[in-house]
Amino acid sequence: MGESESRPPPEKIPLEKLDNYTWRIPQYKRGMRVPGMVFANDNLMEKMQTDRTLWQCANVAHLPGIYKYAVTLPDGHEGYGFPIGGVAATDYDEGVISPGGVGYDINCGVRLLTTNLSEQTLRPKLAQLANAIFENVPSGLGSRRKDFKITPGDLDRLVVEGVQWIIDRGLGWAGDAEHCEERGCMKNANPSKVSATAKNRGLTQLGTLGSGNHFLEIQKVDKIYNQRTAKTLGLEEEGQVTVMIHCGSRGYGHQVCSDYLRVMEHAVQKYKITLPDRELACAPGKSNEAEDYFQAMACAVNYAFSNRQAIMHWVRQSFQQVYHTEPEKFGLKLVYDVAHNIAKVETHTIDNTQKKVWVHRKGATRAFPAGHSEIPADYRGEGQPVLIPGSMGTSSWVLLGTERAMELSFGSTAHGAGRMLSRAAAKRRYWGGNIRTALEKRGVVVRAASAEVLAEEADAAYKDVDVVADVSDKVGIATKVARLVPIAVIKG
């Protein structure tokens, strides 16, 4: 997701091409502690050179305690501080935490459900189902669900307990949490570190899709690349219907980021940290400021997991409403839920030594390999599912985490298509009515809060997600499992 209007870089960024998909930014200016590493083909790199993506990658390389290199992934584009599609790991004891390395939409992420329906079976009910989901899942700026209310005390418990709190209140099935990153609950969440403003914003937005590039899609399996893994994940055959939910922590997470960026700007002065860009404001990982941010961020992470859980519940209810039978009949099992904007404490091998680090993933998906203890037990023999949503009306991807990702990108890969045009530029170039007509001609049912959002999220405003997935696969930081395409799009 774009956080700011694209601007040209203030300087020419030197690049060394290592192979067809790997580029190195040397330590060309004073203060860079490590090189930059960019994964892209020639076309993706050409676009990155038109805005501040590479300049921001080089800036990230200045962070105290950073290890190996600042990483930019194939979907990389200009963001706030870090490029979106950026990864950095800093030493747990000597390094820093930067809110710009997580972003405003904390734990913006994706969850995928499988069904036992085929497109052919669903088609007669598709428009009715899209209508039911559009009515049941509030979308658009400031959206809220009027018949679902929580108290301030409920909110504080929810952000500590995560999705299990939602499930215990009937909005989910036993076992849903097992198929979420962090099992749907990041530890160390402390609501006392979250401002009253953030809490007030979060009170009314739980279970809502929001706006921008967030979406809910009914999809079908278009092509399977890895039959064994696909079957393990419940993707049985081409034509099978799936559901993808893409959203984050709404106003709660946005406010947490805003609040702590101000805190970090003071911390930079207090701890005498030299940075090339004030948007990289940070604090030593063991400082009070960083610990407070990390605990508040964990609250927003858990809010986002819970938000997607509630939405999933209302999707299941929508199937029940349309078919007048229990949703379990249609499968509707959660494949996985991944975070795209998050900071974590992890252990990685650096110079043949195990190091405890703060990993920042900003517009990046965790991509752990087979055997890793953080992967659900039923997937551990294959590897972690990686979910990469496309732009509106285009394909989305299921990939698989790899050992190569642990070597090259701190167990990370791309998170989406990555913007080509800012939202303002897209609105100037496209008209929402034409976008809707084009999608409907392709047999895609569209339900959107406004024509304006359709223009903002036009397919051509984004990079080709198939190319992003292909580069990830060619580099080896995630391998292809299945390609999904939409048959109905619900937009905020």
Q: Which amino acid is at 72?
A: T
Buried b (16+ CB within 10 A) or exposed e, 64-78: bbbbbbbbbbbbbbb
Q: Give the burial class of 470: count Cβ atoms within 10 A of its Cβ; 0-12 exposed, 13-18 middle, 19 or more buried.
A: middle
Smallest CA-to-CA distance from 481 within 371, 370, 393 is with: 370
Q: Which residue has the tokens 């404490």?
A: 345
- Give the rounded distance of the alpha carbon of 137 from its chain centre: 19
Q: Which conformational region is residue 272 in: left (phi greater than 0), alpha (psi within -120 to 50 degrees), or beta? A: left
Smallest CA-to-CA distance from 310 within 73, 111, 37, 25 is with: 111
Q: Could you write out the DSSP letters of every residue in 431-455?
A: -HHHHHHHHHHTT-EEEES-HHHHH
Q: Which residue has the tokens 């930059």?
A: 36
Q: Is 415 a catalytic residue?
A: yes
Q: Are strands 36-39 and 70-77 parallel, antiparallel or unpaired?
A: parallel
Smallest CA-to-CA distance from 202 within 252, 157, 255, 256 is with: 252
Among 179, 246, 340, 415, the one annotated catalytic: 415
Q: Are the beta carbons of 160 and 302 closer than 8 angstroms?
A: yes
- Cβ-proximal residues to 257 (8 Å cutoff; 6+ apart), any chain: 99, 102, 103, 104, 106, 300
Other C-beta atoms closer than 10 Å to the C-beta of 232 total 18
- Measured in Å, how far apart are the chain's first and last C-alpha atoms? 14
| Angle separating helix axes 196-203 and 152-161, nearest 10 degrees | 90
Q: Are the beta carbons of 301 and 106 closer than 8 angstroms?
A: yes
**Integer Cα distance of 92 and 290 in angstroms:** 11
Active site residues: 415
